[in-house]
Structure formats: structure tokens, C-alpha cells
Amino acid sequence: MKRTIKRYHNRKLYDTSSSTYVTLEDIAELVKRGDEVQVFDNSTKEDITGQTLAQIIFEEEKRKRSFLPLDTLRNLIQSGGAAIKELVATELTHVKSFVEEKVKPTLENVQSIPAVQHELKAIKERMAAIEKEMNGKKKKSR
């Protein structure tokens, strides 16, 4: 679910979806459960989502609920964000290799099932018919 949060000059945060004031902890919970959160300064209309999420991380660290090792925090500051990009790239590589190693063979096995082959053939035929129809409409509109 997408949530829009407005931050007022008194630093209060207002969730426009639920029409309630929220705390940084509330926003953290929204993010943890998968909601997309955008935070705007109400007076300037500036998107301050990044600042707010950084503030949440800071508050978590202050409460000793540390989830980032000190070396990671140092690297983040030193690299100006390049460390996170590198971490994400590394993780994407792991995910890609997992998919290729585990998921791809399973998918290939499923595709060999006669009922699945029949459905795939039907889908391909429908797509070809749609493409043919679209190409015909393009030619007529010219």
C-alpha cells in the first residue's frame, strides 16, 4: 500500500491515508510490513523520504537496536553510498545464481508437462493473433 506522510513545521508527521498523526516508529513499521512510504515537507512540498528513513535508522541505532555493523556505517559514510550500491549488486548476483541453479531447472521440468505445453502453445497462438491484429491496425492508421 502506498502511504503519503506530510511533515509539518512543528515536526509532526501526518499519514494522509489513515488521517492520523504518526511517529518515526510507526513509519518504520509501515516500511517493515512492505508499505511504500513517501514523506513530504508540507510547506515546501519537498520529498524528504530519504531524510526520514535515515532518521529512522539513526533512531534505531540510538536505541541500540543496531542492525548495521560499525564497519558498514563507516563504509557508507566514506563511500557516499557506493558501498550500498556494491552490496546490492553483490546480492543481485547471489539471487541470479540461485534462480539459475534452483528455479530454472524446475521451470524447465514444469514446461515439459503435456498440459503446460498445451497452454503455452495456446498462449503463443493468441499472442500471434493479437500481434497480427495490431499490425493490421497500424497499417490502416497510416
- Terminal CA-to-CA distance of the chain, rounded, Å? 42
User: What pLDDT, on a 0 to 100 scale, did the predictor assign at position 19?
Assistant: 95
pLDDT band for position 5 (50/70/90)? very high
β-bridge pairing 2-7 and 36-41? parallel
Percent above pLDDT 90 for the chain: 32
Residues in the chain: 142
CB neighbours of residue 87 within 10 Å: 13
User: What pLDDT, on a 0 to 100 scale, did the predictor assign at position 27?
Assistant: 94
Rounded distance between C-alpha atoms, residue 16 and residue 39, angstroms: 10
56 and 76: one domain?
no
**Whole-number average pLDDT of the chain:** 84
Element (H, E) at 15: strand 13-15
User: What pLDDT, on a 0 to 100 scale, did the predictor assign at position 14?
Assistant: 97
User: What pLDDT, on a 0 to 100 scale, did the predictor assign at position 92?
Assistant: 74
**Whether the Cβ atoms of residue 40 and residue 4 lie closer than 8 Å to each other:** yes
pLDDT tens digits, 92-123? 777 788 777 877 777 777 777 888 888 888 89
Range of the domain at 120: 113-142
Mean per-residue pLDDT, 31-50? 93
pTM: 0.53
10 and 58: one domain?
yes
Mean per-residue pLDDT, 22-41? 93
**Whether the Cβ atoms of residue 14 and residue 22 lie closer than 8 Å to each other:** yes
Number of structural domains (the chain) is 3
In this predicted structure, the answer to whether residue 46 has a pLDDT above a threshold of 90 is yes
Q: Read off the amino acid at residue 65.
A: R
Rg of the chain over all Cα atoms, to the nearest angstrom: 24
**Whether the Cβ atoms of residue 31 and residue 53 lie closer than 8 Å to each other:** yes
42 and 93: one domain?
no
Rounded distance between C-alpha atoms, residue 88 and residue 67, angstroms: 17
Q: Read off the amino acid at residue 12.
A: K
pLDDT band for position 41 (50/70/90)? very high
pLDDT band for position 17 (50/70/90)? very high
95 and 131: one domain?
no
10 and 24: one domain?
yes
6 and 62: one domain?
yes
